[in-house]
Structures are given as structure tokens and as C-alpha cells.
């Protein structure tokens, strides 16, 4: 069933488990992510980054959202459709126009007051029509320090716990992405990051709203399982599921080039899906649909 992201996350916070938000890059991935959730009897949040890496053209977005909404409605488990990293008000409104039930406004790299003002503007518009909103406080950068976004090096700033209550009160946001040692993409030299659980506990004590962990890939199963019992309710995963899909497809190609070529997409999707199912177990959402 197609549901509001807030409904999935409020239950997850109460139940002390996390829900995976896999990055979706094609209509095929919609099918496989939802089938993974049905197989595990788990809720799932499909993340679409319409700012940077997915279907920039409106015609494509309209088509993909027709598939996503239709498949989600037919699903036996709760499915939410979320705009990931909406970079501004216009991007979030574009997402809502095409049928997303929740949006992330990411103004986390801007000064605090600007982040508050933009988030508040998105929340007011989105809540007027029942759309839930995620925002980010502190800034989750890239695991690779040489990575650039919009020509600038990404930077990381830990969430300041002193800002949390003020930010939530002023913006009315439904869930909050935090920066507690996590980073997007692969970590340098594949090091498992140090997650600041003391900071997570402080934030979780300040607010009952669901917390979000971006950059799930490479963060370590133990870290993520622990975070899910301490306030983290949504974990974004992109790199690891794409890696799992491509590794399986290449392995099969090397084993048998002729068959591997014909089955390339099937094998990619199998690896992609297996990793999603694996993380549903790690995050504790299996059988929580
Ligand atoms: P990873 O690629 O590190 O899993 O990050 C995904 C993400 O946070 C998308 O918002």
C-alpha cells in the first residue's frame, strides 16, 4: 500500500527499528525494491534524487512516478515515495507535483537561519496538502573528501544538539537527518566510521520525532543496528546496493560471458535486491510491515 512516510517512521521510532530507503534509479529498481520489501514483510521508503542523479526530464519523471505509485498501491507492504536531497523549494514542489508523498529539503550546507527559513517554507506548503517533510541539521558530507558537489568540496558538520529543539519548533519538520559521524558514498580506505552514539542519544532525548541516517553504505552493520534501536528510523542506502548489483552482474559475466551478457540486468537486480533484504534484517524492519 502507498502510505505517507511519516506513518512508517512514527511506527519505527515506537518500535525501535529502522527502515531502509534505497536509492532508485530506474523503473526496474522500483519493482525490485518493493519485491524485496514484500519478501521480507517490511516497510520500505523509495528514495529518488531528482536534483542530481535521476530522471531530470519532466516527461521521464512523470512516467516513472506512474509506475512507482501504481506498484506501491498494489503492494502488500507499506511503501512511501520520497524526494531525496531536494536542493530548494522549487525542487520539492516539482516532486510534489509529480506525486511524491514526502520530500526532503536539504538546506544543511547553508547557515542555520537560512536552513530554518527554507525548511519552514517547504513544510508550510507540503503540510497544507498532507505531504511529509524531512530536513537535515548539521551537514552530512562525502566519505571521500575529494568529492565535489556543484563544483564545491563537500563538507561535514556535526549536528549541534543545542539547535535541535529550536529547529524542530520553528520549522515543524516531520523527521530529521542528523550528522553523527556518517558520510555519503564510500569511506576513505573503506574505514568503518566512528559513530557518535553519545550525540545520537542526546538528540533522541531532545526530540521524539524520527531521526534519519544518510550515507548508510559502509557504515558498519553493528553501528547501524545499534543506531536503529536509539532513534534512527530511516537509513538511506545507495552505494552498497548498486555495488552489490554490479558485482554480481560482473561475476556472472566472468563466469560465462555469453549467458552473463544476456542476463546482465537480471543479475544486477538480483544483487541489488539481495542487499536491500540483507539490510532489512540488520535494521530490524523484517516482519514489521
Ligand atoms: P550511501 O551511498 O553512502 O549509501 O548514501 C546514500 C544516501 O544517503 C542518499 O541520500
- Across 253-281, average pLDDT: 98
pLDDT at 144: 80
pLDDT in tens, 41-58: 999 999 999 876 665 577
pLDDT of 2 > 90? The answer is yes
Rounded to the nearest whole angstrom, what is the distance from the C-alpha of residue 255 to the centroid of ligand 1? 30
- Choose which residue among 215, 240, 243, 276 to substitute to test ligand 1 binding: the one with the highest number of ligand atoms within 8 A of its C-beta: 215
- Where do runs of H (alpha helix) occur along the chain? 5-15, 27-40, 58-74, 89-97, 112-127, 161-171, 197-206, 221-228, 239-255, 257-262, 264-283
Domain count, the chain: 1
Domain membership flag for residue 288: no
pLDDT at 51: 78
Rounded to the nearest whole angstrom, what is the distance from the C-alpha of residue 185 to the centroid of ligand 1? 6
Cα four-point dihedral sign 88, 89, 95, 101: positive
- Choose which residue among 52, 140, 141, 185 to substitute to test ligand 1 binding: the one with the highest number of ligand atoms within 8 A of its C-beta: 185
Domain membership flag for residue 273: no
- Across 271-275, average pLDDT: 98
pLDDT of 113 > 90? The answer is yes
Confirm whether 84 is a catalytic residue. yes
Q: Mention every residue, 6+ apart, whose C-beta is less than 8 A from residue 229.
A: 16, 17, 284
Cα four-point dihedral sign 40, 29, 154, 234: negative
Domain membership flag for residue 206: yes
pLDDT at 150: 66
58 CB neighbour count, 10 Å cutoff: 12
Which residues approach ligand 1 with their CB closer than 6 A? 23, 84-85, 184-185, 214-217, 236-240
Domain membership flag for residue 160: yes
Q: Which residue has the higher pLDDT, 91 or 150?
A: 91
Domain membership flag for residue 250: no
Rounded to the nearest whole angstrom, what is the distance from the C-alpha of residue 65 to the centroid of ligand 1? 21
pLDDT in tens, 126-160: 999 999 999 999 999 888 877 766 666 678 899 99
To which residue does cell 507492504 refer? 77
Q: Residue whose CA is closest, atom 1 of ligand 1? A: 215
β-strands 148-149, 152-153: how paired? antiparallel
Structural domain for 167, as ranges = 5-238
Q: Residue 97: which CATH number?
A: 3.20.20.70
Bridge partners, residue 21, by sequence: 236
Domain membership flag for residue 287: no
Rounded to the nearest whole angstrom, what is the distance from the C-alpha of residue 258 to the centroid of ligand 1? 33
Identify the CA nearest to 86 among candidates 177, 197, 180, 191.
177
Cα 42 to Cα 155: distance, rounded to the nearest angstrom: 34
Domain membership flag for residue 132: yes
Domain membership flag for residue 258: no
Cα four-point dihedral sign 271, 83, 152, 211: negative
Cβ(145)–Cβ(188) below 8 Å: yes
Amino acid at each position: 500500500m502507498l502510505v505517507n512516510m511519516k506513518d512508517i517512521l512514527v511506527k519505527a521510532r515506537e518500535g525501535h527499528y529502522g527502515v531502509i530507503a534505497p536509492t532508485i534509479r530506474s523503473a526496474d529498481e522500483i519493482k525490485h525494491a518493493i519485491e524485496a520489501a514484500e519478501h521480507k514483510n517490511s516497510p520500505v521508503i523509495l528514495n529518488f534524487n531528482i536534483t542530481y542523479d535521476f530522471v531530470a526530464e519532466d516527461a521521464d519523471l512523470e512516467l516513472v512516478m506512474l509506475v512507482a505509485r501504481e506498484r506501491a498501491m498494489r503492494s502488500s507492504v507499506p511503501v512511501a515515495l520520497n524526494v531525496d536531497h531536494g536542493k530548494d523549494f522549487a525542487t520539492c514542489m516539482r516532486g510534489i507535483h509529480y506525486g511524491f508523498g514526502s520530500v526532503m529539503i536539504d538546506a544543511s550546507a547553508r547557515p542555520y537561519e537560512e536552513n530554518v527559513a527554507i525548511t519552514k517554507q517547504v513544510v508550510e506548503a507540503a503540510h497544507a496538502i498532507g505531504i511529509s517533510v524531512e530536513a537535515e541539521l548539521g551537514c552530512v558530507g562525502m566519505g571521500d573528501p575529494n568529492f565535489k558537489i556543484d563544483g564545491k568540496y563537500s563538507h561535514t558538520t556535526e549536528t549541534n544538539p543545542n539547535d535541535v529543539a529550536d529547529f524542530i519548533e520553528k520549522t515543524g519538520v516531520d523527521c530529521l537527518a542528523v550528522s553523527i559521524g556518517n558520510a555519503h558514498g564510500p569511506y576513505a580506505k573503506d574505514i568503518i566510521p566512528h559513530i557518535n552514539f553519545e550525540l545520537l542519544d542526546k538528540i533522541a532525548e531532545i526530540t521524539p520525532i524520527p531521526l534519519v541516517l544518510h550515507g548508510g553504505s559502509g557504515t558498519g552493520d553493528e553501528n547501524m543496528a545499534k543506531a536503529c534501536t536509539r532513534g534512527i528510523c530511516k537509513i538511506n542506502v545507495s552505494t552498497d546496493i548498486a555495488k552489490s548489483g554490479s558485482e554480481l552482474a560482473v561475476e556472472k559475466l566472468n563466469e560465462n560471458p555469453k549467458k552473463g551478457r544476456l542476463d546482465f540486468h537480471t543479475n544486477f537486480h538480483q544483487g541489488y535486491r539481495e542487499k536491500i533484504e540483507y539490510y532489512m534484517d540488520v535494521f530490524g524492519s523484517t516482519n514489521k510491515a
